[in-house]
Structure 1
Amino acid sequence: MVTILEVGHNDKKKFISVRWKLVSTYLLLIFVTLIIINIFISKTILNIYIQQKQNDTFTKANIISNRTRYQLASDRMNEEWVKKAINEYSKEINGRIIIVDKNNIVKGDSNNLFIGDTFKHDEIQKALNGENSRRVYNFRDTGRVMYVSVPVILNDEIVGATLISVSIDNIYLEVKHISRKVALISGISMLVTAIIAFFFSDAIFKPLGQLKNAINKVAQGHLEEKVNIDSNDEFKEVAEAFNIMILKLDQVDTQRKDFVANVSHELRTPLTSIKILSESLISGEDFNVDVYKEFLTDIDSEVDRLNNIITDLLTLVDLDKEKLTLDLKITYMNFLLERIYLRLKPLAEKKSIDLELVLNEKIQLKVDNEKIQQAIINIIDNAIKYTQTGGKVKLKLYNEGKYAIIEIKDNGIGIPEENIQNIFERFYRVDKARSRDTGGTGLGLSIAWQIVSLHQGTIEVESKVGVGSTFYIKLPITT
């Protein structure tokens, strides 16, 4: 009777076994993690694309405003070259351009529909009040449209406003296409993981079935039954503990803890760190509140580090040489460095670091403004991180032959000579413990190197331990 009941419920027990619980839980955690990562990647890419579109549109709007401000102020917007310029810019950005005077009268329209009409749009009003404005609308007929407006200023007086409207449906379609690819990759990864997990779980839990059979026989009175498991893992330890009963339980528990400690020492990545810390919390007993807080703090730190790595990896993907198209424009490097200086000065002041900017020469280069700015910020940020409180970081711009030199010098901890050749490698960190404390991912200098290389430039480093480091960003001067 017992045998019949056991057979009758065999399939049901299969679905509540430890094997199925562990495998299903593991797959569920992977599934949830992949969903979160996919959503994060999609949102991040969308924000980056929209921000780039916004910056480009603002730039175009300011250019148009500067070119037409004299004509707008003197009511000469009907000149043929002005109309032609507005139409050319409209075709270039694939959008509509409307220019109004300070009385909201339309003086220029790339579609020639509203000229002479009064045009009171929210973005126009903000521009006439001296504000740059941007807003995205979702129209039923035309889809998502970005409105960008800037004031037209002449002799410190607002004489009108420029409004540009451009469709951004293509951005959403591109992000949707990328999201589908990421989802497909995630689905394939999930399927492969599931297959591997089921195959491995079958092999892993086979000794457990042998142990169960032995326990059932002992329960029936066959005390001579022994468990012989031909493996070299925890199951063998459990079998040995079963054979000598309760006397060996403490030894097995010690071996288990030693095993976890050894594995945690070898694993390096943030995800595995989070997993180890979580397993330690789950498997530990009688932990007090302070221990829980300490573990959760470490997990939070690893999550932050993982976010930084994802962000930097997205940047590295964007810097793929085969796919990247640099948006090269003539840029006044003095103005660019001033903006970087003002942006990082508060960060330096938090550590009482004297951030100095020296601009002895006026230099303009043909660069991708946003990307070269990121490269410079990454290096200065490193200099601030690895300079002691009360130290000094100096940013200098000058010419040297056919190159413009951006020099970043600090009196920080310095870099050992044998490590200098490796600092631009991905994930390389001279002092891993210190990098973890400062939030470093080991990707910042690699990103800077790749950006500068794409501009046909180089980065040279001089450093001495205990004295400081000097980075020379050399960019070619093109005529």
Structure 2
Amino acid sequence: MSLRLKLFLTYSLVVIVTLFTAALGSAVLVRQYADRLAMERLDDAARPISVQVAALIRGNVTLAELVENMQAQADASGMHILWSDADGNLLRQLVPQAEPALQFPEGALPHGVPQGTTGEIIDDAGADYFYSAYPLARAPAGIARAQTLILAVPRPEAAAALAGVFRPFAWAGVIALAASIVLAYWLSRSVYKPLGEVSAAADKIARGDYGYRINSRDTGDIGKLAQNFDRMAAEVEASQLKLRHFVADVSHELKSPLTAVQGFSQALLDGTAADQETRDKAARIINDEAKRLRRQVDELLDLSRLQSGQFKMDSIRIDLYDVLKHSADLFGPPAADKSVRIELDVKPGLWVKGDADRLEQVFNNLLDNAVKNSPPFTGIKIAARVEDGHVIASVLDHGPGIHPDALPRVFDRFYQVSGVRTGVGLGLAITREIVLAHGGGIEARSAPGAGAEFVVSLPSM
């Protein structure tokens, strides 16, 4: 069953239950109103008859005269006229023309009640009757034990009570039901439509159409869902694009050393490398390219483990001053070979928590890039300070710099700034992941011709 059908059936069921409850409540109210109206009419008709009976009794009329007079009243009003004794037993009754006499259990009739008492009684057949009772000051002739005059009428049937209002209510209910079902259909459609768009979009993306977007303008909850879905789709598309680039980059980076290994190994196999010097050269190249492949594979594995959180690192108290000084000392000789000066503007007491070897790898990567890209007779500055609960360390060179368009991608895997940066393109990606694993952040700042500055921020202790 589709969600749209479920919504429609749910709305329709709510409407039907609501209308049924309203109809049931209306029926109860109409029945109560009909009972009250019947009781009032009975009381209005019974009072004159009770007065007339009392007058006839005071006039000492005979029983025959009383019966004749009251029978006419019973026929005219449709009321049953009954006399009961002090125990509530029926002594005599007059019934309207063509109606059967009533039978009541002993003691069931009202007795000893105030004048004009109204209520309900049930005869032996189970029929309901409304009554109005009047105590007699004097028993009529021939009914010596009579103490209470009772005038009764059948309680209105429920169907009869509802007959007058059923048709208008029925038509109103049918119209309301039809309108509500139409509204339920519209509501289910309006609710399902954006959900259907999300479902269709998910199906398209599952089929490989990563560029599909919903572009919903709805500001409600479902609209927010659609917007979040679009953001997710954009991230999926970006991930797929990165994956394709990654596969292409890995293939490209591995192709060169593999080609060299294959070519020189083939030369050794087919005898092209005839003399010992040529064979030694081929062996050295194969060895160098194999080491290069090993480094690339190791870097890829390290990067993968860092990004997946599976890379184990120490978490000890470290003075970053020692790390920075050691890196500066390590790259001092290769920098001096290029007539590049390394300036260390760092003081002890830069306490952080982390893995000293991995943090040294971070600054070794940054210094390696800085030395490679620094022109002769320039300088590299290493600075660090404590600021707002963080240790801020930076490496600044005076090389050709990085174009602003390339800055957002310098930390991507295999990304190389064309004509400027050298290497495979994994160093900065690994650097960023190590810094992130320490709860810090890294930023590249540069402009073409103005050098490059890499700023690392780590939580201080």
Tell me, yes or no, whether TM beats 0.5: no
Normalising by structure 1, report the TM-score.
0.38
CA radius of gyration, larger in = 2
